[in-house]
């Protein structure tokens, strides 16, 4: 059995990603960077409070504050390198995304979650709510090529994926158009038109939150729903 847990994308975007643009526009990476920055600030505040509590010999609060300081230190450490930012777009899997709402601006993307050869096909539809998509027309049912990495926790399937619209990484419309043509070519090999599947899922699940994923079987029939951060999905009723 071939194991694809060490992910290698079968189809890549082909774009030349701009790290400075990613820092400015990628809202997924931006949220992580913002969280780390705020955690560092809270860590410093915890140290100041810790010093005051220690001065007054309030040892129980000192212990609690010390644990909080360690937590925020842990959450605030680490960097996202520019090389990694570019890899998300240049080495990730190229997948179709579609604007399914304009208020708020929402993109739904679909990707195959199979991680090991021989497993039955399972797809995921990721609901991504964004503030801005500079370079796109931002029109309903506009096609938006995306790149994604997967999260793998063992077993025959990836547990989740996150789509990154190529517009967040480049202003080169020719590269984006070429990526879209590749998505269209790949779509011809599917048993169903995945653009239509995305429309159908958006209409069937209008209440999806940002980061939620609908699980689909080999016939593109929905059977589960999960948050990106969850390891397991909840079966759909009925």
Domain boundaries of the chain, sorted by first residue: 92-229
Low-confidence ranges of the chain (pLDDT < 70): 1-7, 32-40, 42-43, 46, 69, 71-76, 78-79, 238
pTM as predicted = 0.83
Measured distance CA(198)–CA(194) in Å, rounded: 6
Q: Which pLDDT score, from 0 to 100, does residue 70 have?
A: 72
pLDDT for 174-213, tens place per residue? 999 999 999 999 999 999 999 999 999 999 999 999 999 9
Strand 123-129 relative to strand 212-216, pairing? antiparallel
Measured distance CA(106)–CA(203) in Å, rounded: 13
Measured distance CA(26)–CA(82) in Å, rounded: 12
Encode 32-56 in three state secondary structure.
HHHHHHHHHHHHHHHHHHHHHHHHC
Q: Please state which of the four CATH numbers 2.40.410.10, 1.50.10.10, 1.20.1640.10, 2.40.50.140 is assigned to the domain occupying 92-229.
A: 2.40.410.10
Q: What are phi and psi of 178, to 5 degrees?
A: -65, -40
CB 108 within 8 A of CB 98: yes
Residue 100: its H or E element? strand 97-102
Measured distance CA(40)–CA(45) in Å, rounded: 9
């Amino acid at each position: 059995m071939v194991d694809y847990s060490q992910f290698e994308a079968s189809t890549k975007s082909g774009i030349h990603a701009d790290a400075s643009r990613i820092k400015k526009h990628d809202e997924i990476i931006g949220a992580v960077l913002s969280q780390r920055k705020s955690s560092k600030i809270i860590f410093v505040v915890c140290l100041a409070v810790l010093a005051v509590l220690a001065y007054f010999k309030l040892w129980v609060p000192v212990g609690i504050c010390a644990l909080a300081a360690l937590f925020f230190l842990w959450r605030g450490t680490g960097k996202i390198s520019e090389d990694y930012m570019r890899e998300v777009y240049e080495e990730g899997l190229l997948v179709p995304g579609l604007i399914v709402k304009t208020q708020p601006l929402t993109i739904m993307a679909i990707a195959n979650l199979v991680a090991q050869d021989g497993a039955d096909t399972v797809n995921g539809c990721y609901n991504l709510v964004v503030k801005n998509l500079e370079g796109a027309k931002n029109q309903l049912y506009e096609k938006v090529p995306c790149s994604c990495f997967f999260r793998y926790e063992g077993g025959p399937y990836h547990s989740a994926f996150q789509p990154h619209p190529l517009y967040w990484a480049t202003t080169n419309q020719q590269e984006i158009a070429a990526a879209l043509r590749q998505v269209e070519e790949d779509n011809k090999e599917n048993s169903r038109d995945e653009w239509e599947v995305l429309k159908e899922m958006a209409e069937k699940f209008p209440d999806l939150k940002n980061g939620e994923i609908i699980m689909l079987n080999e016939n593109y029939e929905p059977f589960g729903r999960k948050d990106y951060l969850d390891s397991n999905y909840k079966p759909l009723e009925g």
